[in-house]
Structure 1
Amino acid sequence: MKLIPVSAGNFHCDGGALFGAIPKVLWNKVYPCDENNFTKLNLLCLLVETGDRKILIETGIGNHYPEKHFKNMGVTSVTEMVSSLKEKGYSTEDITDVFFTHLHWDHCTGAVKTVDGKLELVFPNATMWSSKTQWEHAKISNPRERAAYHRPILDFLMESGKLQLIEKEGELFPGFEIRMFNGHTPGQMLPILHTKKHSFIYTSDLVPTAANIPMLWISAYDLDPAQVMEEKEKFLKEAAKKNYVLFFEHDYYTECATVQETEKGVQLKEKLSLAELL
Structure 2
Amino acid sequence: MTLYPIESGNFKLDGGAMFGVVPKAIWQRTNPADATNRIDVGMRSLLIEDGERLILIDTGLGDKQDDKFFSHISPWGDFTTDISLAKYGFHRDDITDVFLTHLHFDHVGGAIQWNKDRTFLEPAFKNATFWSNANHWQWAVQPNAREKASFLSENIVPIEESGQLKFVAINGEQKLQTSELGFGIFLADGHTEKQMIPMIDYKGKKVVFMADLLPTIGHVPLPYVMGYDTRPLLTLSEKELFLKEAADNEYLLFMQHDAHHEICTVHQTEKGIRLKETYTFKEIFNS
TM-score, normalization by structure 2: 0.93
Displacement after TM superposition at 1:172 (Å): 4.0
Q: Distance in 2 between matches of 1:207 and 1:79?
A: 22
Q: Distance in 2 between matches of 1:112 and 1:79?
A: 18
Q: Residue 93 of structure 1 contacts residue 124 of structure 1 at CA under 8 Å; is this kept in 2?
A: yes
Corresponding residue for residue 144 of structure 1: 146
What is the identity, as a one-letter code, of the residue corresponding to 1:57?
Answer: I
Corresponding residue for residue 247 of structure 1: 254
Corresponding residue for residue 102 of structure 2: 102
What is the identity, as a one-letter code, of the residue corresponding to 2:188?
Answer: F
Is structure 2 residue 178 aligned with structure 1 residue 176? Answer: no
Is structure 2 residue 226 aligned with structure 1 residue 219? Answer: yes
What is the identity, as a one-letter code, of the residue corresponding to 2:73?
Answer: M
Q: What are the residue-to-residue correspondences of 1:20-35 with 2, within 5 Å?
A: 20-35=20-35
Corresponding residue for residue 208 of structure 1: 215
Corresponding residue for residue 158 of structure 1: 160
Q: Which runs of 4+ in 1 moved over 2 A?
A: 76-79, 171-175
Is structure 2 residue 268 aligned with structure 1 residue 266? Answer: no
Q: Distance in 2 between matches of 1:148 and 1:157?
A: 16
Q: Distance in 2 between matches of 1:224 and 1:78?
A: 34
Corresponding residue for residue 49 of structure 1: 49
- Structure 2 residue aligned with 1:187, among 173, 187, 194? 194
Q: Distance in 1 between matches of 2:203 and 2:7?
A: 24
Q: Residue 176 of structure 1 contacts residue 191 of structure 1 at CA under 8 Å; is this kept in 2?
A: yes
Q: Distance in 2 between matches of 1:180 and 1:78?
A: 32
Q: Residue 54 of structure 2 contacts residue 95 of structure 2 at CA under 8 Å; is this kept in 1?
A: yes
> Alpha carbon RMSD of aligned pairs, Å?
1.5
Is structure 2 residue 236 aligned with structure 1 residue 229? Answer: yes
What is the identity, as a one-letter code, of the residue corresponding to 1:28?
Answer: Q
Q: Residue 2 of structure 2 contacts residue 48 of structure 2 at CA under 8 Å; is this kept in 1?
A: yes
Corresponding residue for residue 114 of structure 2: 114
SS at match of 2:166: strand
Q: Does the C-alpha gap of structure 1 residues 78 and 157 become closer, same or farther in structure 2, counting only changes over 3 Å?
A: farther
What is the identity, as a one-letter code, of the residue corresponding to 2:162?
Answer: S
Q: Distance in 2 between matches of 1:111 and 1:257?
A: 27
Displacement after TM superposition at 1:140 (Å): 2.2
Q: Distance in 2 between matches of 1:65 and 1:26?
A: 34
TM-score, normalization by structure 1: 0.96
Report sequence identity in percent.
39
CA distances 1:235-266 after superposition (whole Å, capped 9, x unpaired): 00000111100001000111100010122111
SS at match of 2:274: strand
SS at match of 2:240: helix
Corresponding residue for residue 133 of structure 1: 135
Q: Residue 12 of structure 1 contacts residue 41 of structure 1 at CA under 8 Å; is this kept in 2?
A: yes
Is structure 2 residue 5 aligned with structure 1 residue 5? Answer: yes
